[in-house]
Structure 1
Amino acid sequence: MDSSASTINQIYPLDEEKNGQAPAHDGVIQGFDKETEAVERNLSANNASSVPNGGTMAWLQVLSAHILFFNSWGIVNTFGSYETFYQIDFLSSSTSSAIAWIGSIQAFLLLFVGACTGPLFDKGYAIELTIGGSLFLVFGQMMLSLCKEYWQVLLAQGICIGIGCGLVCVPSTAILTQYFSTKIATAVGITAAGSSFGGIIYPIVFHRLQPSIGFPWATRVIGFMMLGTQLVSLAVYKVRSLPDKKRDLVDFAAFKEPPYAIFVFGMFVGFIGLYQPFFYIQEFAIEKHITNSNLGFYILPIMNAASAFGRVIPGILSDKVGPMNVMIPCTFVAALAGFCLIAVKSPAGLIILAIVYGFFSGTIVSSSSTVVVYLSQNNKSKMGTRLGQLFGVASFGMLIGTPVGGVVLDDYSYTSLFVFAGVFVVSAGVFIIISRKFYKGLKLMIRA
């Protein structure tokens, strides 16, 4: 507060000697309240020294963002349970590819709408985006409980919930850059773990309640859980500073930077394959009689539980060695685990591979935002736009990935599906290496 007052005095000097009397401090304070507030709110987004990197308010933003991930990415990670239920019971007349379109459109809108909300966040509409997203999420979930036909499920779960997820996508990540710089990877990791916890809790709730109270009320219970948690997030969410000028929808200059452009394309490629196991592993376990139906439904929560650790632990390590240095090996290990699913025959083997894939794929998802933060250190005021562009490009990978995977599964086999997934994840790892070469070179001991 002292530094702000000093700034105001430099901008509006008090001419104490001109009138030969003491300055009217009260009048100055009243006269310049708005200017003081403007200076405080428009702290430079590029000024790292002004970022608190801790404190109660900063960690409350991590809690708020964690909940937003819980109800956006967590819902996307839950779709595998719905996929299996739809395939076996509710929409059994539909093909795997047709059902996958519901989840892929939901995930696509999460990322694509996120691309549009980035500039809106930069313009100061973070609260409005978060409130709007909360309304779409809860409304879509409640409407899903009334659905009877495929097209109704597509509208409610795919489109309405997808839009809600997209509206809270960028606010949940970009807010962290206003409160953290040196601890940004840790903050993002804890935040991103919310998606894993959502992917643990919601599938279990659905699986336990659906047989006893039916699909409509099981779905409504999840809707009420979403409503309660979103209210907590909104209660503590607070924008700390605003950019000093409006931003464009697209930051074309970012795509002229090879590290950023190559990395974003790599994420597009990776997301084509990354979510195949999340969508199909339950169905795979049950259909191939690797597990019984009860254990099969818990494979996805187990994978998401491992993913929670994969988002937090590597995030802490990323603050020390750099997110790219952590993300690259994790990408290749995730791909290897995906390939190994081809040979699994026992419940123990499937659970182990689900844990491994969940852990290392979680690192890919959470670290991608952190990498963009690192690649945009000289353009922090455009962070929302640059994150939005990442999500927007990657969204098309999500859109086409799992439906194409469904076609591969329907026409060929699970072996072909897991090969399809693994090849695209490996390709993403190669593009991240190329991006790192342009960013900091290929020397192993360089923090990148």
Structure 2
Amino acid sequence: MASAASQESLVEDAGINCQEAQPTAYDTPPDGGIQAWLQVAGSFFLFFNSWGTVNTFGVFQTYYETNLLQDQSASNISWIGAIQAFLLLLVGVITGPLYDAGYFRALLFTGSALIVIGFMTLSVCSQYWQVLLAQAICIGVGNGCLYIPSVAIIPQYFFNRKAIATGIAASGSSVGGVLYPIVFRQLQPQIGFPWATRILGFLALATCSFSLCTMRLRQMPDQRRVLLEFSAFKEAPYALFCLAMFFGYIGFFNIIFYIQPYALRMHAMGEHLAFYLVPLLNAASVPGRIVPGLLGSRLGPLNILLVSACISGALCLCWIAIYTSGGLIALAILYGFFSGAFVSLPAVALTTLTPDFRSLGTRMGMCSVLCGLGSLCGSPVAGAILDKTGSYLGTQLYSGITICATGVLLFLARICKTGTKLRATA
């Protein structure tokens, strides 16, 4: 355990400026203090602009279907959001080693710049391929540059409080998923799509600047990690966990992308009220990110993630029987809360499945690739089912079954890790 004097020295040396501290040798994280909580705040805004922009796409999906890209199918439009989410997770395989090599601030700057540039170029787009390049590729790669730093920085400052600190930081994705669509919705009718989108770019610039000015590496890894470690898949708990996350991300985004168009097509509510379904879902995800972090430290992150997957899958299947405004509002709130663990807990759960923490970054990167592949074939396939059948039933079944499969696979991973003891912490 680090001495009290060394922890006080860390706090005294913590300044709110844009200069990065020289990383020190590995030692015990301070588990608190001004500088540590500044990292949580900075990570909060990284999640705000990475996962937050992905969670916002449901609003863009509706706008594109009825305005800018109305000549495109729902499946084609959903590819924009799916590729954006895929790149967020895939780019982590590259940014992980760069982070380990000490390019922390370079990743923050690159990711921030790409997100801002993406929004600014999106504001002048008028064709499908242009939107694909600006929103899916440019913003997606920017998201990927921010994702690994936002997750990897917290274990450097927290040990016992790591789960709750990660949950608070991850709640930034939900806050971003609330503010971004509301700002867009309120401004677009008044000042038009171009300037409404530019305002989102300025919002990203301001919040990313805060992270750039406050976040710093505390210590460098004692060795560079390898890019891939295929031997990890020989361990049944890890292999089952990765497969579970693959199926989870197939179904995770479908409600976020399609609940608003569903409400309008079913005439369950007017356009104005239907718009707020996505912000409501994301607002409910704020406690859905934090509460699992609190419970995960006591009951085990894998256990909480297992319960979250089972309930989220059941809610997707319940979606089949919901046609009223009250039912859809309740669905959005419940799904937002119980699916929140999909963002905040996988990285924490992986720590319980990794015997050697020196390979944790590599394992996180490989799992992220599978999550990205899941998101890539999730919403576009759901949209293709919708276009082919003209009914949301197939999309709803597809979402519910894949997330329920996640629960089954997580249960098997838990058994492989802890045995059949129901009260075992995992």
TM-score by shorter chain over 0.5: yes
Asked if structure 2 preserves the Cα contact closer than 8 Å seen for 1:121 and 1:384, the reply is no
Letter in 1 for 2:149: P
Choose which of 366, 390, 396 in structure 1 pairs with 2:367.
390
* TM-superposed deviation, 1:373: 2.3
Aligned equivalent of 2:167: 189
Distance 1:374 1:225 in 2: 37
* TM-superposed deviation, 1:341: 1.1
Aligned equivalent of 2:118: 140
Aligned equivalent of 1:204: 182
* TM-superposed deviation, 1:431: 0.8
* TM-superposed deviation, 1:248: 1.2
Choose which of 387, 394, 411 in structure 2 pairs with 1:410.
387
Distance 1:384 1:237 in 2: 19
Q: What SS is found at the alignment partner of 1:82?
A: helix
Distance 1:109 1:364 in 2: 17
Letter in 2 for 1:56: I
Choose which of 95, 98, 101 in structure 2 pairs with 1:120.
98
1:269-418 maps to which residues of 2 (within 5 A)?
Answer: 269-376=247-354, 378-412=355-389, 413-418=391-396
- Matched-pair identity in %: 46
Distance 1:129 1:153 in 2: 24
Distance 1:248 1:60 in 2: 30
1:108 and 2:89 are equivalent in the alignment:
no
1:222 and 2:200 are equivalent in the alignment:
yes
Q: Which one has the largest radius of gyration?
A: 1
1:44-83 maps to which residues of 2 (within 5 A)?
Answer: 50-83=28-61
RMSD, matched Cα: 1.7
Distance 2:302 2:334 in 1: 19
Unaligned runs of 5+ in 2: 7-20
Distance 1:441 1:118 in 2: 32
* TM-superposed deviation, 1:252: 2.7
Q: Stretches of 4+ moved more than 4 A in 1?
A: none
Distance 1:193 1:285 in 2: 26
Aligned equivalent of 2:26: 43
1:159 and 2:137 are equivalent in the alignment:
yes
Asked if structure 1 preserves the Cα contact closer than 8 Å seen for 2:228 and 2:366, the reply is yes
Q: What SS is found at the alignment partner of 1:41?
A: coil
Letter in 2 for 1:400: C
TM (norm. structure 1) is 0.89
Does 361-370 or 87-96 show the bigger shift?
361-370
Asked if structure 1 preserves the Cα contact closer than 8 Å seen for 2:88 and 2:143, the reply is yes
Asked if structure 2 preserves the Cα contact closer than 8 Å seen for 1:258 and 1:435, the reply is yes
Does 431-440 or 147-156 show the bigger shift?
431-440
Asked if structure 2 preserves the Cα contact closer than 8 Å seen for 1:122 and 1:381, the reply is no
Q: What SS is found at the alignment partner of 2:83?
A: helix
Asked if structure 2 preserves the Cα contact closer than 8 Å seen for 1:117 and 1:388, the reply is no
Letter in 2 for 1:109: L
Q: What SS is found at the alignment partner of 2:79?
A: helix
1:9-28 maps to which residues of 2 (within 5 A)?
Answer: none
* TM-superposed deviation, 1:258: 1.8
Q: What SS is found at the alignment partner of 2:339?
A: helix
* TM-superposed deviation, 1:391: 1.1
Aligned equivalent of 1:424: 402
Aligned equivalent of 1:233: 211
Give CA deviations for 1:51-81 in whole Å, capped at 9, x if unaligned: 2111111111111111000000000000000
Distance 2:316 2:255 in 1: 7
* TM-superposed deviation, 1:254: 2.6
Letter in 1 for 2:111: G
Distance 1:245 1:400 in 2: 35
* TM-superposed deviation, 1:256: 2.7
Q: What SS is found at the alignment partner of 2:71?
A: coil
Give CA deviations for 1:136-165 in whole Å, capped at 9, x if unaligned: 111111110010111000000000000000
* TM-superposed deviation, 1:309: 1.1
Asked if structure 2 preserves the Cα contact closer than 8 Å seen for 1:72 and 1:195, the reply is yes
Distance 2:271 2:174 in 1: 22
Letter in 2 for 1:171: P
* TM-superposed deviation, 1:367: 1.2
* TM-superposed deviation, 1:115: 2.0
Asked if structure 1 preserves the Cα contact closer than 8 Å seen for 2:225 and 2:361, the reply is no
Distance 2:345 2:387 in 1: 33
* TM-superposed deviation, 1:442: 2.8
Distance 1:289 1:392 in 2: 38
Does 314-323 or 69-78 show the bigger shift?
314-323
Q: What SS is found at the alignment partner of 2:269?
A: coil
Q: What SS is found at the alignment partner of 1:219?
A: helix
Distance 2:420 2:220 in 1: 36
Distance 1:89 1:271 in 2: 28
